[in-house]
Amino acid sequence: MAATISTLGAAGLAVPLARLPQARGRRGSLSAGAAAAAAGAVLAASVSGSNAFSGMAATMSTLGAAVLAVPLARLAQARGRRVSLSAGAAAAAAGAVLAITAAAVRSFPLLLLALLMLGAAAAVNLQARFAATDLAADTTRARDLSLVVWSTTVGAVLGPNLFEPGEALGAVLGLPPLSGAFVFSVLALAAAAAVFAAFLRPDPLLTALARSGTGPRTQARTGGWAVLRTNPPARFAVAATALSHATMVALMSMTPVHLHEHGASLSVVGLTISLHVAGMYALSPVFGWLADRAGRMPAILLGQALLLAALVLAWSAPGSRTAVTACLVLLGLGWSASVVSGSALVAEAVDVEHRAAVQGTSDLAMNAAGAVAGAVAGPVLAAAGYSGLGQPAMVLVALVAAWAAAVRNRPRTPRPG
């Protein structure tokens, strides 16, 4: 639900983001997404008849985002961002309709398929941040990308509060219990698809390809993984983004469990997660500006320093609610700095004809890393506690930092791919 309303916030941002860059000779885009996480988890438990299956909602949505990242990137390379983003949003809207249908017929397999389709919205949300960079100047690429990330703040704040209104709306419409929130998803995603189709003109990726002398029919068909094998800066950027995301997911996903087990009320848990989400999105334009001014590598290293500070707090003071809250805020800030800067580096590390392919691979890696981190975090928390959870994640931070130093010290060579 949170990401669904991000679509509405992004749709409202579409025209300003489209027109402002146009005056500077480039065009940005907007963010869109849908993953009715809270509603999906509750509905999964209800339809399956067991709370043990509630986690399948997030699992299937994440899997859908990972599976669809590369096909949507290929569609963008062949037909442009406008077609790819609007098609992805439409597919996610169909998934929301299918979720309502699954609730009506009480079919758990159908619900899993619906949640998988809803993952298309997360894939669109990620791809949209790259659309803002297709025609961006080098001096403002990270800032343009960060504005798209920032637009998701709307959904992060409003989305969780729409579960009860959704239920009320569902009752009026005669929908099955627990499915009303998906009506908002359908409306928001349909609006996003329409906005992409109507306002993302001229298409930023097709325009960039035309300027480079490479059209959709003549561009290289090299896959993202093949490009990464020969492009060290792009390989680092993809890895830094994925590993930073894994670090954030591992700790964040287990924090509500940790706080609840130590007697924190639901309001305290909710406030902590809200502050974390604010750290992730609200200050992203600041990190975008910093990445443009100071450089991508310094901003990525700042992100790693913030992540490390969060992990140290988790390790040293797991019993303090204040420390855990500060840890989550730092975790969100570190994620924001790392992902905004890393994504900007992904966009500029490869030539335009390979850009969408590499970006799709980056989104696939990011979702896969997050899914693995979330799956591993539970057993680690059970075995080593919250303090022990932060220690393995420190290895990921150290890996990114060491890799960044190696890339910075490598002599510059002509950019492959």
Q: State whether 134 and 272 are in the same domain.
A: no
Q: How many domains does the chain have?
A: 2
Q: State whether 272 and 163 are in the same domain.
A: no
Q: State whether 193 and 253 are in the same domain.
A: no
Cis peptide before 416 (omega within 30 of 0): no
Q: Please give the C-alpha separations between residue 165 and each of 2, 98, 290, in angstroms, as whole numbers.
A: 14, 20, 39
Query: What angle do the packed helices 108-131 and 181-199 form, to 10 degrees?
Result: 30
Q: Can you give the pTM of this predicted structure?
A: 0.80
The pLDDT assigned to 55 comes to 61
Q: Please give the C-alpha separations between residue 266 and each of 25, 263, 286, 377, in angstroms, as whole numbers.
A: 49, 9, 31, 21
Q: State whether 192 and 276 are in the same domain.
A: no
Q: State whether 247 and 333 are in the same domain.
A: yes
The pLDDT assigned to 34 comes to 35
CATH code assigned at 183: 1.20.1250.20
Q: State whether 151 and 80 are in the same domain.
A: yes
Burial letters 387-416, b for 16+ CB under 10 A, else e = bebbebbbebbeebbebbeebeeeeeeeee
The pLDDT assigned to 387 comes to 87
- Structural domain that includes position 169: 1-218
Burial letters 128-160, b for 16+ CB under 10 A, else e = bbbbbbbbbeeebbbbbbbbbbbbbbbbbbbbb
Per-residue pLDDT of the chain (417 residues; tens, 9 = 90+): 444 444 444 444 433 334 334 333 333 333 333 335 557 767 877 888 876 676 677 778 888 888 999 999 999 988 999 999 999 999 999 999 999 999 999 999 999 999 899 989 888 988 888 888 888 888 899 999 998 888 777 666 666 567 678 778 888 898 888 788 888 889 889 998 999 999 888 999 999 888 877 665 444 456 888 899 999 999 999 999 999 999 998 898 888 878 877 787 767 777 888 888 889 988 999 999 999 999 999 999 999 999 999 999 999 988 898 999 999 999 999 999 999 999 999 999 998 888 899 999 999 999 899 888 888 888 888 888 888 888 889 999 999 999 998 887 665 544 444
Q: Which of 295, 366, 305 is nearest to 142 (CA)?
A: 295
- Given a contact cutoff of 8 angstroms between Cβ atoms, the answer to whether 32 and 191 are in contact is no
The 3-state DSSP class for residue 13 equals helix
Q: State whether 47 and 12 are in the same domain.
A: yes
- Given a contact cutoff of 8 angstroms between Cβ atoms, the answer to whether 121 and 34 are in contact is yes
